[in-house]
Structure 1
């Protein structure tokens, strides 16, 4: 009983300490008669980072982020008007974005009178910061801007107008999807009902349960002010003062302030497609897409902090630009998968090479590994011609120790990959009884153990980082097409298929997708190098030449497989039979396996 009481008291003290947040130094700034409560951390001689919260938060939103930023920067957060310890003007007009942007400049000039500030905004904090960076005044007062889960309403309004005046299927889908996600903003325009609902939700415990239910936000990470219920209701003025006005009469302007746009693909309120016209109005734009939700400062504070620190470092003339920022640069328009870090094994030829080229065209940075370093270098050069950054490596995927070291080197030099394609593979044809032990060991070392090692090593890195990812394992139609001439190869690829399906279930809770790609007859170099067990050298060469000729006549090229791989990543598919015979064989094995067994008796080679 005594121990239980002590434990409860310690737990309560820990929660109270978290709720209190960092040891802020308090201050205030007044703009046009409105007092804004400010909170400071770090050495004031360092460059200033200004943190701007959204609805229904206060400066407490930055509890997990501010202390780490303060190790290098002077950090200032403030409670926006209508929230927390700041004044709450009556009516709707005082909450227009023009007034909020004036507040931001007033705080910036007070806390950093001699140098521009770096701004980080979340939700409505980002919305009002967009208004600020779109003004000419921002050129001398704002050094950079990190936008998290908050669009520029003028950009959004212009996107809506363009969709109405020149409708396309893509525009219409974007408008329809965002209308569903934003339906709550219509409710917020009503006079009485939202006040009643928010009064019920305004208890801190209820709000934490809501965030946990809709986004899986850890309740212990959510830090709210005692004024939460009042903040929710007074903050409705943000929606009433700005949404209709901006969507009806947008005034989209160009900003020259360096902007990093953090796009959360699982944002319950904002669809990623609404940011597609941002490059039109931001001349220095970076974009980072991750499978995360709206309240990133609570769900993944370390990831967001690292992202902010990397971007701030890139704005310095004395520090090298971090690789994560280099690959996030947007020059024209955002592309699917742009800025992702990709590892591909067996990248020197065939499917691996074509997949690298396809992802290079989408703006990925590529780590290209192959047993033959000269072919990896050739693929890297081809990717660079496509405008991508590519790094060649020599790797034998069957050497587990070397593969582990390679994964560690990738993490240390380039970062945790977003996508891994375990493509390296070999084949052995002929009867299982005729194959040598050396052939057997090499086959399973490359095809199965190599895939498992790559999935495990990089999968662990993705889990530790905590913001998802995708693993693609190249299996084969042979995985579900038994054959007397390919039994060993089929079993290695069947292992890849079932391992991938199992790993997909294991990693689902971490938002890491796993795909098994199952090509059929594809014209690659693997056939010309396939040993056929049980044959003398002359007969083996004749059989191999015959098979190679057949594959070439078949004419299904590896770039078509690469296109399926890219689609599988974008749509998080589980199993993808690629060629027509693979799709047919997959269904036969599932619904009429006896046909597969009959077909297995036919000799293909050997």
Structure 2
């Protein structure tokens, strides 16, 4: 167990078992005070893996909320109303920081209680900040649900029904005889540990429970019975001036991300971080939670945070864009598909790190993205240099944090005869198109795995990966390699919740066509002009590819043929390969 030291705090006739973390008697009055608040069915031991990391920066306390652990257990349901629980929290805050303010980090029902506390008038005088994990404000939730059903569009109804399905277990918890008996029978450490491991992959050794787990499960059910029906039926949303960080978990089995979409209308100072994590973040991803809380608390306490700064991009000032708080890295972002993808992700609120071998063009892209209101930084990068790609990934991590989205887009084209191409042309083509994608995927993928909160890697392949052409043998080989590598990497990284997508555009008019080398062509300039003119007339623009890339990120698609001819070619090669071979005999410039 962690290094906790107990003392008791009284709130009327309720005794709250409160714990400090660290060496008894050690005083660090210059450090901010952090109070950790657990939910159902946990105790302060929920924080055993988080508290040591926070204690390197702050004075850390936790307490068993009423009905749990070593604290008082009132027998009547009304004693568990949120207003009473908020009074408990204020009492503990006064005890641990009598002359200052307290930073709250809370999970599940602890977060629900903290929302009640920070929306109490005058809360900002006692509470410096609030980090909310997997626990909504019930008044905000009731308002959100009523708003969705008042405007019953398919999207609104779908979101509401999705949340109802996720919360269906709460109806069972409202039935005292059945739910109490269930947890008396199955509320053991072993069963709960296996449940957490099964439902979201929590390492078994991370599950930390006190000796009162079964008793806590049963008494804690009064939280549901005392609050949910009344709050959802008659919501009374109140504002808060306390700075709030919402950590939203996309794989939360109980809470859908959509329920937080209106928090900004009540929280004056709001930040949001979102990742492909589950409900029990303090057990499953304690390092991520600790690092995120440390950065936010330092930002509020001192006005700055430890490098890298990832919290500024998470600030919410209105309806939150879909990718707010995310970091996206794009190679080949100086023009074409890379530039248009940068614009599309900027519109969705992502911070952008943009790289290209031509620094001037990528700086132009960055300026346009900044004009859309997001941070954007330009780098010069030659993706054919494996050492440079690895160094670039490290520089990005140190300056901006670990990337959430990586788009390996940089590429060139060599067409014409495979036999006539020079060795230098072949080596450069493979170094950029294939080795560059592999290098970028490996360098950033390792960082994503180490962080443990998922991510998305998008690799630009081509319809040429499966559409045969006598004049694109070398280019097709490089892009087929990208396609197969992406498919295999997707399988490798699935257990880490990292998606990998291969984007396969067909005839798209970009700068690549105007700079394509045609090996063996009698008049290379004329051939290039003819092909470029055909692509221009086709008029499938890079922004349409960017739209498909965004869709692929949202849906974590494996392979995305973009244009109609790519869709057709993908199916012909799969189901009629002989037809693809016959079609391959047609010359590109004919």
TM-score (norm 2): 0.98
What do residues 76-129 of structure 1 show as CA deviations (whole Å, max 9, x unaligned)?
100000000000011100000000001000100111111110000100000000
> Matches of 2:282 and 2:556 in 1, distance apart?
26
Tell me if the contact between 2:132 and 2:246 (Cα under 8 Å) persists in the aligned partners: yes
Matches within 5 A, 1:504-515: 504-515=490-501
Aligned to 1:563: 547
The question of 1:115 aligning with 2:100 is answered yes
The question of 1:71 aligning with 2:56 is answered yes
Aligned to 1:289: 274
> Matches of 1:474 and 1:69 in 2, distance apart?
41
The question of 1:552 aligning with 2:536 is answered yes
Unaligned runs of 5+ in 2: none
Secondary structure of 1:528's counterpart equals: helix
Q: In structure 1, which of residues 170, 179, 202 is the aligned counterpart of residue 164 of structure 2?
A: 179
CA shift for structure 1 position 244: 0.2
CA shift for structure 1 position 320: 4.6
The question of 1:35 aligning with 2:15 is answered yes
> Matches of 1:318 and 1:368 in 2, distance apart?
27
The question of 1:532 aligning with 2:518 is answered yes
Tell me if the contact between 2:140 and 2:237 (Cα under 8 Å) persists in the aligned partners: yes
Q: In structure 2, which of residues 326, 348, 363 is the aligned counterpart of residue 377 of structure 1?
A: 363
Secondary structure of 1:315's counterpart equals: helix
CA shift for structure 1 position 318: 5.4
Q: In structure 2, which of residues 229, 234, 246 is the aligned counterpart of residue 249 of structure 1?
A: 234
Secondary structure of 2:209's counterpart equals: coil
Aligned to 2:583: 599
Secondary structure of 2:511's counterpart equals: coil
Residues 390 and 445 from structure 1, CA distance in 2 versus in 1: closer, same or farther, beyond 3 angstroms?
Answer: same
The question of 1:325 aligning with 2:311 is answered yes
> Matches of 1:565 and 1:287 in 2, distance apart?
24
> Matches of 2:525 and 2:313 in 1, distance apart?
46
Aligned to 1:360: 346
The question of 1:438 aligning with 2:418 is answered no
Tell me if the contact between 2:32 and 2:301 (Cα under 8 Å) persists in the aligned partners: no
CA shift for structure 1 position 67: 1.3
Matches within 5 A, 1:466-485: 466-485=452-471
Q: In structure 1, which of residues 408, 421, 428 is the aligned counterpart of residue 394 of structure 2?
A: 408
Q: In structure 2, which of residues 324, 337, 352 is the aligned counterpart of residue 338 of structure 1?
A: 324
Aligned to 1:388: 374
Tell me if the contact between 1:365 and 1:389 (Cα under 8 Å) persists in the aligned partners: yes
Secondary structure of 2:2's counterpart equals: coil
Show structure 1 runs of 4+ deviating over 4 A: none
What do residues 166-211 of structure 1 show as CA deviations (whole Å, max 9, x unaligned)?
2222221111001111110000111211011111221111110111
CA shift for structure 1 position 137: 2.1
> Matches of 1:441 and 1:394 in 2, distance apart?
21
Q: In structure 1, which of residues 458, 462, 480 is the aligned counterpart of residue 444 of structure 2?
A: 458
Unaligned runs of 5+ in 1: 1-20
Tell me if the contact between 2:521 and 2:527 (Cα under 8 Å) persists in the aligned partners: no
> Matches of 1:319 and 1:269 in 2, distance apart?
34
> Matches of 2:304 and 2:235 in 1, distance apart?
38
Secondary structure of 1:392's counterpart equals: strand
What do residues 12-70 of structure 1 show as CA deviations (whole Å, max 9, x unaligned)?
xxxxxxxxx22222111111210000000254512210110000000000000111111
Residues 262 and 320 from structure 1, CA distance in 2 versus in 1: closer, same or farther, beyond 3 angstroms?
Answer: closer
Tell me if the contact between 1:144 and 1:258 (Cα under 8 Å) persists in the aligned partners: yes
> Matches of 1:408 and 1:363 in 2, distance apart?
23
> Matches of 1:552 and 1:254 in 2, distance apart?
54
The question of 1:235 aligning with 2:235 is answered no
The question of 1:278 aligning with 2:252 is answered no
Please say which of residues 407-416 and 474-483 is displaced more in the overlay: 407-416
Secondary structure of 2:421's counterpart equals: coil
TM-score (norm 1): 0.95
Matches within 5 A, 1:145-156: 145-156=130-141
